[in-house]
Amino acid sequence: MERGFAELHGIDDALQGVQLHGRSDPAIIRDAFERRLARSPSAAEIDEIIDRLLINLRIELLNLPGYRVLPGVREILEKLSQQDDTLLGLETGNTQPGAEMKLSHGGIWHYFCFGGYGTDSDIRSEIVQAGIKRAEQLLGGDDHIDEIWVVGDTPLDIEAGKAVGGKTLATATGMHSLDLLKACDPDLAVSDLSDVRIVTATLLGKT
């Protein structure tokens, strides 16, 4: 994203001072415009930065030795995907193409059959709600969603899960400490997702 600002607007370090974690890509772009250019961007300018982001992301992923799928994630997704009564969705501030690019690189994109994305809203709970609506469309007929779990590594994820009436699992694998996440009162808070048995049993209501 910073490279896109440099390429299109000649601004280096465009994201300096901009809050990134738990926010949507369009919101981050708008914040950077206001901070560095003292104006709001047009919809076309946001799209231009996102287009450059996707181009640069594809290049970065090919040259990113530190990329890894965190411990337990693949195993948890595999176990959950085998449940007939469970749908796996993605809740992210990224755009759908950006999210697909990142997770395909780790071989886990195929687990998610729906999602809520940064292009749906700047508000995290509305992103989650957009994903829920897509899940309901997938179900159709007389089927309905009985329980929602939101798994995330920021306070905004926990707040969003609660706002839609869901349960929340906080994992301290991001920029926020376990103590800070616990203070947000999630249904479960863990240091990471390496304990596949506990995490899976919790999400499936078998604890």
Q: Output the pLDDT for position 15.
A: 96
* Backbone phi and psi for residue 152, each to the nearest 5 degrees, phi listed first: -160, 175
The domain tally of the chain equals: 2
Q: Output the pLDDT for position 85.
A: 92
The whole-angstrom distance between residue 11's C-alpha and the CA centroid of its chain comes to 27
Last residue of a domain, one of 17, 38, 62: 62
10-residue averages of pLDDT along the chain (207 residues): 95 93 93 96 96 94 89 97 95 96 96 96 95 93 87 95 97 96 98 97 90
- What token pair was written down for 12? 């280096």
CA distance 41 to 169: 35
Of 201, 129, 204, 203, the C-alpha closest to 168 is 203
Q: Could you tell me if 103 and 190 lie in one domain?
A: yes
Q: Could you tell me if 199 and 112 lie in one domain?
A: yes
Establish if 162 belongs to a structural domain.
yes
Q: Could you tell me if 137 and 167 lie in one domain?
A: yes
Q: Output the pLDDT for position 144.
A: 83
The CATH code of the domain that includes 77 is: 3.40.50.1000
C-alpha torsion angle, residues 168, 117, 95, 20 (rounded to 10): -50
Range of the domain at 87: 73-203
Q: Output the pLDDT for position 143.
A: 79
Neighbouring-strand partners of residue 152: 170
Establish if 67 belongs to a structural domain.
no
Q: Could you tell me if 173 and 151 lie in one domain?
A: yes
Q: Could you tell me if 170 and 194 lie in one domain?
A: yes
Query: Beta strand 89-91 with 114-116: parallel, antiparallel or unpaired?
Result: parallel
Q: Could you tell me if 55 and 117 lie in one domain?
A: no
Q: Output the pLDDT for position 122.
A: 92
Q: Output the pLDDT for position 63.
A: 86
Last residue of a domain, one of 14, 38, 62: 62
Q: Could you tell me if 116 and 158 lie in one domain?
A: yes
Establish if 132 belongs to a structural domain.
yes
Full-model pTM: 0.90
Establish if 174 belongs to a structural domain.
yes
Q: Output the pLDDT for position 142.
A: 74
Q: Could you tell me if 51 and 97 lie in one domain?
A: no
Q: Could you tell me if 41 and 121 lie in one domain?
A: no
Q: 């301290």: which residue's tokens?
A: 172
Q: Could you tell me if 31 and 129 lie in one domain?
A: no
Q: Are 39 and 33 in contact (CB under 8 A)?
A: yes
